[in-house]
Chain A
């Protein structure tokens, strides 16, 4: 049974299956008739279990957000998040969430003629390199996905690190897809947008979301910035193609969600959602203290609602199982995020305070006694 669930959904406690598992208990196999359509082999390459982020928000959306109606969301986004950075309304594309825009970027924009992606280059991020990849040993790729503040490590890249990243991208003619979903959680002055770095407009797309800003995980609202100055090798502006994708494969985010988004960006609205962000970060602080008190090395929890706990020499799934069994607490094994996550556990700071405190109590009881 889950006591420390980061959301109210039972299915979230079951990590090994897709969230609402496709039940096929009554397959009618009397006559198994097949079409002659060959299955998309690429789907077979996907890992069997999609390890979903259990970073689900729990706190209700402030009243002021849910009771307002407005328009001109693109403008509000440009002004609220990119003031002084030269991002124009027309460069902002409102989405029904980053999850969807990531796919739209992948399927439409970054496909080459052979319909294959380049092999994936994994850039290890760990304490040894201050959670920023060693770019001198990273091969050139066309696209660089970069999330900061990072899910799952919680690390926010510094200005120096991002300057290096932009330089690297420009030198290689690559495009950075910068995921700033957690930027409002930053507390230490680290950059919130890639566009704070000179030269980024010519090499970076930025994606973001209202999910973690405003508890809109179910409401579905996000955005993607594609600067005018971003060009493909053949001088075609990326924004033209992204717009074409958006017009062809999508029909806009729900007008109601957009109205909510606009309310989030009003002065009162933004203040209200930030107080919920602060609430989650207070949770994070408690979790950092708890795990530290157990003698563990803890990362994150300062610029993101995730705490990244190191269990050197252990397998993350084993730690996950042990914590679940002994304390009835759900965490996420680090290896689910890539090989660089082995030996770590991600703990989310989303949750009701009582649950956070209860979890802390249990961990201390079990591991300190």
Chain B
């Protein structure tokens, strides 16, 4: 199943002081000749430079010092590295991956056949298309607007099609956060890309090891005690507020009342919310799916979304970002104009084939099939209600220790909560993505371990 992402590598471990970046696993790999599907060279470089490197030619170009602030590799490649090391150590173990939130179930055929059709059409004169609009194909933008924002006053031209929310988060960073003293807040815990991309852009201070936070970021604690919604009365004003709901990793979805508070908070402070609705389709009941369901949100929020979890498009790469016309900088300039500029300069549109797939997802047939797939996932197995993640509490324990123990003893890969922020310490995230049999088997093993 899992071919490790080609970009998997262990990076910058020399800058990490954590004990977790296991000398053990490193040693295991080093002593064996392996053909693991990850960058062997990368693993071997995770130590102080060798004598050869020290005498090698160097350019006189300064490194981007911001990258050095990052404590380790991006979280998920690191998990992948550990998983690979584990598999080498236990070649006969049936490892089950409930770590990275990667979808596993095949994409319905009505969608893949649309992509195949588009691909083959590229071999015909009539069907060939070259550069597309960087903002996305008109038909797809229109269909996104009507499907998800029909009665919310969001129009086709407010929508920018992307190759996935992850890329757009960085483009938004460049747009609204780059090159100035713009401040940001994130939920704690939260999806690591918000913080990491911000560090790279130079928006943060150094990592403060005692509190496990980067300087200059406002961390909004989300815990069982506050029902996983930050106490806004204790949150300092920042220019930008990243807010993901339903939440990765906690699985919690903000209620209408909570989002009304959030919008008011942003309005009072003149802030911009970047609302990540990647898991909106997992919401049930009256829980809002879009920030734009809240009156006034169009003047304070950007919403980013993705086909990844919606249609299994994690590898196909398709998403979108909504920047309403009403959203303006302090000088009255529309944010959408600058975002459009970024998109035109640093991007060249999502793949036309992926966009054809997206269109098929939003056809009546596509929508029906996708809804059925979700309800059949049956979260009752875990109790994950509004998101495909289960956030499990291990009070008083280090989440990397729990991760390691679960991996060692049950051969199940999870994700340590501290990877999502300091308030994730003591928790482990278990992803609900997986073949039903694997998920049931993993549950069985957990019960064995913890009975």
Most B CB contacts (10 A, CB to CB) among A9, A23, A36 go to: A36
Mask of B239-252 contacts with A, CB within 8 angstroms, 1/0: 11000000000000
Known: A34-B331, A107-B201. A175 touches B167 (CB 8 A): no
Residues of A within 8 A of B332 (CB): 32, 34
Asked whether any CB of chain B lies closer than 8 Å to the CB of A170, the reply is yes
Q: Are A252 and B6 in contact (CB under 8 A)?
A: yes
Chain B stretch 321-339: residues in CB contact (< 8 A) with chain A: 325-334, 336-338
- B182 interface neighbour in A38, A66, A174, A238, Cβ under 8 Å: A38
Binds A, one of B24-32, B55-63, B85-93: B55-63
Question: What is the bound-complex CA distance between A295 and B62, given in angstroms?
Answer: 49
Question: What is the bound-complex CA distance between A115 and B157, given in angstroms?
Answer: 32
Question: What is the bound-complex CA distance between A23 and B125, given in angstroms?
Answer: 30
Asked whether any CB of chain A lies closer than 8 Å to the CB of B295, the reply is no
- A249 interface neighbour in B9, B197, B353, Cβ under 8 Å: B197
Chain B stretch 147-188: residues in CB contact (< 8 A) with chain A: 157, 163-164, 166-167, 169-170, 174-180, 182
Known: A111-B64, A203-B59. A255 touches B176 (CB 8 A): no
Question: What is the bound-complex CA distance between A262 and B176, given in angstroms?
Answer: 37
Asked whether any CB of chain A lies closer than 8 Å to the CB of B2, the reply is no
Q: Are A218 and B352 in contact (CB under 8 A)?
A: yes
Asked whether any CB of chain A lies closer than 8 Å to the CB of B200, the reply is yes
Asked whether any CB of chain B lies closer than 8 Å to the CB of A368, the reply is no
Most B CB contacts (10 A, CB to CB) among A19, A203, A238, A253 go to: A19
Asked whether any CB of chain B lies closer than 8 Å to the CB of A52, the reply is yes
Asked whether any CB of chain B lies closer than 8 Å to the CB of A120, the reply is no
Known: A37-B240, A42-B178. A234 touches B63 (CB 8 A): yes
Known: A203-B59, A218-B352, A233-B59. A63 touches B9 (CB 8 A): no
Residues of A within 8 A of B122 (CB): 60-61, 66, 215, 218-219
Most B CB contacts (10 A, CB to CB) among A107, A232, A240, A248 go to: A248
Asked whether any CB of chain A lies closer than 8 Å to the CB of B347, the reply is yes
Asked whether any CB of chain B lies closer than 8 Å to the CB of A237, the reply is yes
Residues of A within 8 A of B33 (CB): none
Q: Are A61 and B128 in contact (CB under 8 A)?
A: yes
Question: What is the bound-complex CA distance between A244 and B345, given in angstroms?
Answer: 22
Known: A19-B344, A112-B64. A37 touches B74 (CB 8 A): no
Please give the distance in Å from A299's CB to the nearest CB on chain B.
25
Asked whether any CB of chain A lies closer than 8 Å to the CB of B146, the reply is no
Known: A50-B341, A249-B167, A254-B353. A35 touches B131 (CB 8 A): no
Residues of A within 8 A of B182 (CB): 37-38, 40
Asked whether any CB of chain B lies closer than 8 Å to the CB of A148, the reply is no
Known: A37-B270, A173-B58, A243-B9. A66 touches B119 (CB 8 A): yes
> What residue of chain A has the Cβ atom nearest to residue B271's Cβ?
A35
Mask of A218-247 contacts with B, CB within 8 angstroms, 1/0: 111100000011111111111011011111
Q: Are A256 and B7 in contact (CB under 8 A)?
A: no
Residues of A within 8 A of B64 (CB): 108-112, 241
Please give the distance in Å from A89's CB to the nearest CB on chain B.
9
Binds A, one of B39-47, B209-217, B256-264, B281-289: B39-47
Please give the distance in Å from A62's CB to the nearest CB on chain B.
6
> What residue of chain A has the Cβ atom nearest to residue B57's Cβ?
A202
Residues of B within 8 A of A1 (CB): none
- A28 interface neighbour in B175, B325, B352, Cβ under 8 Å: B325
Mask of B310-321 contacts with A, CB within 8 angstroms, 1/0: 000011111000
Residues of B within 8 A of A113 (CB): 62, 65, 202
Most A CB contacts (10 A, CB to CB) among B58, B74, B337 go to: B58
> What residue of chain B has the Cβ atom nearest to residue A96's Cβ?
B163
Q: Are A231 and B58 in contact (CB under 8 A)?
A: yes
Q: Are B134 and A60 in contact (CB under 8 A)?
A: no
Question: What is the bound-complex CA distance between A26 and B156, given in angstroms?
Answer: 13
Question: What is the bound-complex CA distance between A84 and B351, given in angstroms?
Answer: 32
Residues of A within 8 A of B18 (CB): none
Asked whether any CB of chain A lies closer than 8 Å to the CB of B303, the reply is no
Asked whether any CB of chain A lies closer than 8 Å to the CB of B196, the reply is yes
Chain A interface (Cβ < 8 Å from any Cβ of B): 7-9, 11-12, 18-20, 22-24, 26-28, 32-43, 46, 50, 52, 56-63, 65-67, 71, 74, 88, 90, 93-94, 96-97, 99-100, 102-103, 107-113, 115, 142-143, 169-170, 172-175, 202-203, 215, 217-221, 228-238, 240-241, 243-257, 260
18 A-B residue pairs with CB within 8 Å: A28-B326, A34-B330, A35-B272, A108-B67, A111-B64, A175-B61, A219-B353, A220-B351, A236-B68, A243-B11, A244-B11, A244-B12, A247-B73, A247-B77, A253-B317, A254-B163, A256-B115, A257-B353
| Chain A to chain B: the 7 pairs with minimum beta-carbon distance, closest first | A173-B60, A36-B270, A103-B346, A249-B170, A20-B133, A232-B63, A255-B315
